[in-house]
Amino acid sequence: MTNSALSATSATLSPARIRLALLALALGGFGIGATEFVAMGLLPEIGRDLLPGLAASDPDAANAQAGWLISAYALGVVVGAPTIAAAAAKWPRKRLLLVLLAWFTVGTVASALLPSFGLVLVARFVAALPHGAYFGIASLVAASLMGPGKRARGVALVLSGLTIANVVGVPTITWLGQQAGWRTAYLAVAAIFALALLAVLATVPFQAGDKTATVRNELRAFGRLQVWFAIAIGAIGFGGFFAVYSYVSPMATEVAGLDASVVPWVLVSAGLGMTVGNLVGGRIADRSVRRSMYAMFGLLAASLVALGLSASTAVGIFAGVFLVGLAASALSPTIQVRLMDVAGDSQSIAAALNHSALNIGNSIGAALGGVAIAAGLGYVAPVWIGLGLTAAGSILAVSTFAIDRSRRARGQHVVSTTTSMHAVEVR
């Protein structure tokens, strides 16, 4: 859509209709936050139900294997985000949003009802495919609804659904799962998606897709070295957060000795940290992406060390997960801006690739943390795994900006040499 068409779209709607449409889009983001993170607080319950034999003989191994569900969802995001974003760019946006929300609803219901671990694993992968595309398209729609000069606020409102889910939705649904079973928790998440679908259907106006978009043009981003560096920074560096967050429930109960009823409050602490981190990261990344990335990787490493040394205490685990969530979430907008800076004209897929990168980190962190637990290293081991991933992400960050400096220096050298040669010719 052209800018004039977008302005016309917002101008023809009442302020109340625009607010309702934005809330409907945010509700979809709330559902995504719930479906992505609720498993992390219910690993023991999932392991006992789907892996009863293993849970009876080796509860740690059952929790580690249940963590594969987190990895499966993350891999689904990785596959689906760029694929759907590139292939469906021409679709009318409201129609695509409805299809994606219906997909989420069916996939989440299947996750709740399928009888075996293997089938639930497949369902989590399939349910994750529309994740990145939803955020990308919903952000474009929100930007158009807000109108000129207010687009960033519209995008932030859509993403606020994900943030609020980590503060309110995930702890509440975790508590529900502990009381009524993890399957009931997933049915509650499916109900949120169904409600979001109806809300989008009722409030979001029709918007045409991008008729000029082609898969080839979007995929050109993959030919840029710095795009791959940005993806790797998100995938590896952000994995440090997920190595911890994936196993926060057994860490709270087995290491800190807290009752299972306290786990939702630990998740609230992490969610509050993520909320603050989003706000902080967006502000400092606007000033300097490089300094923001360096500072947040440093804070994430320090937070992981503090958590690893104090996880046996209630204060340590509450404060530790808050700081880890803050630092990691502050990295998210920074990595997003970096991707958009280096992706050239492939801006749509750049937004989707951010979700792919972070969910590769989700998969890597959850998988490596599970390996450490299954090896008998204990529930603090994922914290040190996370520190190693954070260190690797920091090295990649330093490398990508070193390449920028090198290219600028070579460019200046070429200009300087050309100028000197021209001066000789003149003489």
**What is the per-residue burial (b if ≥16 Cβ within 10 Å, else e) of 264-279?**
bebbbbbbbbbbbbbe
DSSP state of 130: T
CB 24, CB 199: distance < 8 Å: yes
* Cα(280)–Cα(330) distance, integer angstroms: 6
Give residue 91's Cα distance to chain centre: 24
pLDDT class of 384 with cuts at 50, 70, 90: very high
DSSP state of 260: G
Q: Is the pTM of this model over 0.75?
A: no
Return the SS3 of 335. Answer: helix
Name the CA radius of gyration of the chain, rounded: 22
Tokens of 131: 């994740």
Q: What is the pLDDT of residues 254-280, one digit of tens each?
A: 898 888 888 888 888 888 888 888 778
Q: What is the predicted pLDDT for the residue at 420? A: 45
Give residue 200's Cα distance to chain centre: 22
CB 334, CB 358: distance < 8 Å: no
Q: What is the pLDDT of residues 277-318, one digit of tens each?
A: 877 877 787 778 888 899 999 999 999 999 999 988 999 999
Q: What is the predicted pLDDT for the residue at 10? A: 52
Higher pLDDT: 198 or 53? It is 198
CB 285, CB 292: distance < 8 Å: yes
Cα distances from 327 to residues 62, 82, 237, 384, in angstroms, run 30, 26, 11, 16
Block residue for tokens 């319950």 = 45
Higher pLDDT: 349 or 196? It is 196
Cα distances from 403 to residues 226, 229, 399, 407, in angstroms, run 8, 10, 6, 6
Q: What is the predicted pLDDT for the residue at 418? A: 46
For a pLDDT cut of 90, what percent of the chain falls above it?
29
Q: What is the predicted pLDDT for the residue at 340? A: 74
Q: What is the predicted pLDDT for the residue at 347? A: 65
pLDDT class of 412 with cuts at 50, 70, 90: low
Cβ-Cβ contacts under 8 Å for 212 (sequence gap 6 or more):
none
pLDDT class of 416 with cuts at 50, 70, 90: very low
* Cα(253)–Cα(204) distance, integer angstroms: 44
Q: What is the predicted pLDDT for the residue at 348? A: 67
Q: What is the predicted pLDDT for the residue at 100? A: 95
Give the relative orientation of helices 43-50 and 182-203 as an angle to the nearest 10 degrees: 110
Whole-angstrom distance between the N-terminal and C-terminal Cα of the chain?
A: 54
CB 351, CB 140: distance < 8 Å: no
pLDDT class of 366 with cuts at 50, 70, 90: confident
Give the relative orientation of helices 15-37 and 131-146 as an angle to the nearest 10 degrees: 160
**Domain regions of the chain by residue span:** 1-213, 217-427
Residue type, 395: I
Q: What is the predicted pLDDT for the residue at 298? A: 93
Does residue 64 carry a pLDDT above 60? yes
CB 277, CB 245: distance < 8 Å: no
CB 293, CB 338: distance < 8 Å: yes
CB 136, CB 351: distance < 8 Å: yes
* Cα(296)–Cα(287) distance, integer angstroms: 14
Q: What is the predicted pLDDT for the residue at 249? A: 82
Residue type, 316: G
Q: What is the pLDDT of residues 139-177, one digit of tens each?
A: 778 777 876 655 545 666 777 787 788 788 888 898 899
Return the SS3 of 62. Answer: helix
**Is the domain 217-427 a CATH 1.10.357.10 member?**
no
CB 192, CB 104: distance < 8 Å: no
Give residue 419's Cα distance to chain centre: 48
Q: What is the pLDDT of residues 368-378, one digit of tens each?
A: 888 888 888 88
The CATH code of the domain at 1-213 is 1.20.1250.20
Please count the other Cβ atoms lying within 10 Å of the Cβ belonging to residue 238: 28
